[in-house]
Amino acid sequence: MILTGIDLLMNLLMNSKYIVSLIGAGISTNAGIPDFRGPKGIYNQKNIAADKIFNINYFKQDPSQFYSHMSELITIMLNATPTKGHLFLKKLEDLGKLKMTISQNIDGLHKKAGIKNYIDVHGNFEKFICLNCNKEYPINDEIIDLIKNFNNNKIFPKCKECEGILKPDVVFFGEPVKMLELALTEVQKADLLLTLGTSLQVYPVDQLPSYISENAKLVIINNTETKYDDYAKLVLHDDIDYIVEKLKIY
């Protein structure tokens, strides 16, 4: 019998021993966090200057675009709960099948879901760093309140030592991604690379699927097309949570 769709996905999951997942913003949209390049993504909204928000040179000149955007998003992000997609990965990890999750997301939902082995290649919001003296501050209520209220009072989170502007430890365009070598090593160890909710458009993470080993399989779950679709063993252009519900693994 030739398996397709969800049946093939189940078969591939069952027959794999070293699964690595590569996740993007699409795994968190069902938690209410907007993605970047999906139909409702911030790159498709005219009132948001998305190219300026996450650019390090622009941030150093004027951090207000970034903090204004985060002012609207931070409450949603900090209050969000993991999606079925995240719970699915947690289950696969508990089953001993999923060995590593490579996340491009800064929302921390994979950690909230209880996933233990992950790499935040684009950083996260757990700490803030002074642009001037590099002093580090774990995220705290004072920083959160300043960001929440930024659109009203226009006050940036600042360093206690030197008054420098604080930047969250997230990777902006123009900065190197984190732990790329480890991510690459894990991709090369995988017998199944499972990409979930990523447009696979942002360098260098977009290169990772091309490094899977010769006998490994690539599975893409994303509701729009990616440049690797022709190269994958299985492509499901569907909502992640819908697929997870069909699989009944979450």
Q: Write the interaction track for ligand OAD spanning residues 189-208; mark x where CB under 6 A is met and - where it is not.
A: --------xxx-xx------
Residue nearer to ligand OAD on the CB measure, 45 or 140: 45
Name beta bridge partners: 220.
195, 235
Residue nearer to ligand OAD on the CB measure, 159 or 208: 208
Nearest distance from C-beta of residue 169 to Zn ion, angstroms: 14
Residue nearer to ligand OAD on the CB measure, 38 or 157: 38
Q: Write the interaction track for Zn ion spanning residues 121-140; mark x where CB under 5 A is met and - where it is not.
A: ---------x-xx-x-----
The answer to the question of residue 24 lying near ligand OAD (CB under 6 A) is yes
Q: Which residues 73-132 are close enough to bind ligand OAD by CB under 6 A?
A: 104, 122
The answer to the question of residue 37 lying near ligand OAD (CB under 6 A) is yes
Nearest distance from C-beta of residue 153 to ligand OAD, angstroms: 25
* Residue 237: active-site member: no
Residue nearer to ligand OAD on the CB measure, 35 or 93: 35
Answer yes or no: are the C-beta atoms of 160 and 183 closer than 8 Å.
Answer: no
The answer to the question of residue 224 lying near ligand OAD (CB under 6 A) is yes
- Name residue 182's amino acid: L
Q: Which of 69, 86, 110, 122 is catalytic?
A: 122
Nearest distance from C-beta of residue 165 to ligand OAD, angstroms: 18
The contact set with Zn ion (CB under 5 A) reads 130, 132-133, 135, 159, 161-162, 164
Active site members: 122
